Amino acid sequence: MPGTVHRPTRRLDLGGSCAAPRCRRYDASMDFDVTREQWIERFSIRLALDIDGMTPEATLKIAEEAWEAKGHLPPEDVADAVAGEQRLRPPPAT
């Protein structure tokens, strides 16, 4: 059907029955399948856009740490959360 979004359904092993897709909450975090490198790249690009003046080395370090803890989530969402945390931190004392 034109204009509709196909959302994959997961078959449940409940004696041959399948839960109706409209009865389950849609989980967007399961819609992507990326490698570690792709996740880190997407995270780094988003974080660099969110935070001015961040060096590529710092961005990659944060991305690698974030991958370990939150690699199951969309990288753009995690980068936005990290950027928000960075904005709340006080600047380092000089």
pTM of model > 0.85: no
What CA–CA distances, in Å, run from 69 to 9, 43, 72, 78? 26, 13, 8, 10
Q: Which residue has the tokens 């936005």?
A: 80
Q: What is the mean pLDDT of residues 59-82?
A: 95
Query: What pLDDT digit, counting tens, does each position of 7-49 carry?
Result: 554 443 444 444 444 434 434 544 568 899 999 999 999 999 9
Between residues 23 and 53, the one the model is more confident about: 53
Q: How confident is the model at residue 91 (pLDDT cuts 50, 70, 90)?
A: low
